[in-house]
Amino acid sequence: MDYIVFDLEWNQCPDGKDKEDKRLPFEIIQIGAVKLNEQFEETDRFNEYIRPVLYKTLHFHTREILHVDIQSLRRARSFPEVASDFFSWCGTDPVYCTWGSSDLLELQRNLTFHGMESPFPFPLFYLDIQKNFSLQMEDGKSRRSLEYVSNLLNLPKGIPFHNALSDSIYTSRVMQKLDKQALLDYFSIDYYRVPGSRKEEILVQYGTYSKFVSKTFANKNDAMRDRKVASTPCYLCKKPAKKKIRWFTGNSRNYYCLCYCETHGWLKGKIRLKKTEEDRVFAVKTLKLIGTEEAKRIVDRKDAVRRKNQRHRSS
DNA sequence: CCAACTAAAAGCCGGACCAT
DNA sequence: ATGGTCCGGCTTTTAGTTGG
């Protein structure tokens, strides 16, 4: 099993959004990757440019960012050819690692556009190095640029940023600086393909919390009314924890609830509803055992939301 | 420029409640 | 019945990151 640290460069419609092909706003023009063994040691590299079929000149702004010569792209191979070779090179059981979450998304959109079969397993787990840097070195929420982190960690420079191969190399170097076990523990889940049925629903145990990814629903209401989505089983004993504060929302994006497990204590619930490419809705629910002081914070937050609405109405 | 994510604020709407 | 306020749920808007 190898770790595949990869990065993509892509282009967009040079004539503005109106003229773009709605099926593919971003067209991949380079795939770069570094292969690491179990010890995170580099064993191989992959680098190839891709001949565009949609956008044959660079968008003004991407030309500023990327250092690519559009002329050389015309001599490059097509996306299906390069992508096939890339996945062969990745081997049979790779763990994909990226800087941020957008690369796997755009890669799959390009695969779909070209009518290619998905080479990925379902569910697709991967390692987001940008997120894990924040978890280990910062607040867990910030998202730093690759250049910022490379400077912070005094990584050897000399190769340009915003090139698929060199960014893969930088990303792999950041990866090597992280605590390995923590990194492997906090893997991410790709949501390009989401569970289409009960059978495909995903339940994952992390160290201090559990994560559940539901099947899709027609709308938000259906999702939140679903018994399995709304349920709050304690992830240690599997028994239902009793709701003290039912699901509520403070910012329209996340729902929270507070419940109590007779054997394991306070349990915080959080649901984030997300939309699929087809505009359907699915739920990502995390359940976490917490202490009394954090339980109180949820009670306070519920209170704050109520007061905020009060103030808002009176003004 | 375009897309995704996050957070906060503002706006909309209908039901519950209350006083008239 | 009518009008006003409160409240919860939801959407939209705005601003600031990141990615290319």
Last residue of a domain, one of A142, A170, A188: A188
- A221 and A144 in a single domain? The answer is no
Q: What is the pLDDT of residues A93-149, one digit of tens each?
A: 999 999 999 999 999 999 999 999 999 999 999 999 999 999 999 989 899 999 999
- A183 and A201 in a single domain? The answer is no
Last residue of a domain, one of A161, A188, A215: A188
Q: How many domains does chain A divide into?
A: 2
pLDDT at A254: 82
- Domain with residue A219: its CATH number is 3.30.530
pLDDT higher for A24 or A310? Answer: A24
User: Which of chain B's bases lie under 7 Å from a protein CB?
Assistant: 1-11
Give the residue with minimal CA–C1' separation from C10: A252
CA distance A287 to A65: 41
Q: What is the pLDDT of residues A149-203, one digit of tens each?
A: 999 999 888 888 999 999 999 999 999 999 999 999 999 999 999 999 999 999 9
H-helix or E-strand spanning residue A3: strand A3-12
- Residues A74-88 have a mean pLDDT of 96
pLDDT higher for A305 or A235? Answer: A235
CA distance A176 to A40: 6
- A184 and A213 in a single domain? The answer is no
- A184 and A202 in a single domain? The answer is no
- A23 and A167 in a single domain? The answer is yes
Peptide bond into A123 cis (omega under 30): yes
Contacts of A158 (CB under 8 A, 6+ apart): none
CA distance A2 to A187: 15
Count of Cβ atoms closer than 10 Å to residue A241 Cβ: 25
Alpha helices in chain A (DSSP H): 60-65, 70-74, 79-90, 102-113, 129-137, 146-152, 164-177, 180-185, 220-225, 227-230, 292-314
Last residue of a domain, one of A154, A171, A188: A188
Footprint of strand B on the protein (CB under 7 A): A 12-13, 16-17, 20, 25-26, 59-62, 101-102, 105, 141, 191, 251-254, 272, 274, 308, 312
Give the residue with minimal CA–C1' separation from C20: A10
- A40 and A153 in a single domain? The answer is yes
State whether residue A57 is helix, strand or coil.
coil
Evaluate if residue A219 carries a pLDDT over 80: yes
Query: What is the CA A22 to C1' C20 distance in angstroms?
Result: 17
Whether the CB-CB separation of A246 and A298 falls below 8 Å is answered with no
Instruction: For residue A67, give the nearest of A168, A169, A154, A166 by alpha carbon.
Output: A166
Q: Which 8-state DSSP code applies to residue A154?
A: T
Q: Please name the residue that has the structure tokens 């040691």.
A: A41
- Domain with residue A159: its CATH number is 3.30.420.10
CA distance A6 to A47: 10
Q: What does the block give as tokens for A89? A: 């090179």
The separation between CA A82 and the C-alpha centre of its own chain, rounded to angstroms, equals: 24
- A169 and A31 in a single domain? The answer is yes
pLDDT higher for A172 or A224? Answer: A172
Q: What does the block give as tokens for A77? A: 């191979």
Query: What is the CA A30 to C1' C19 distance in angstroms?
Result: 15
- A39 and A182 in a single domain? The answer is yes
Give the residue with minimal CA–C1' separation from B8: A251
pTM beyond 0.75, yes or no: yes
Nucleotide with smallest C1' distance to residue A26 CA: C20
Instruction: List the domain range (segments joined by +) for residue A221.
Output: 195-314
Evaluate if residue A308 carries a pLDDT over 70: no
pLDDT at A296: 83
Burial zone of A269 (CB within 10 Å; 0-12 exposed, 13-18 middle, 19+ buried): buried
- A147 and A47 in a single domain? The answer is yes
At A251, the pLDDT band (50, 70, 90 cuts) reads: low
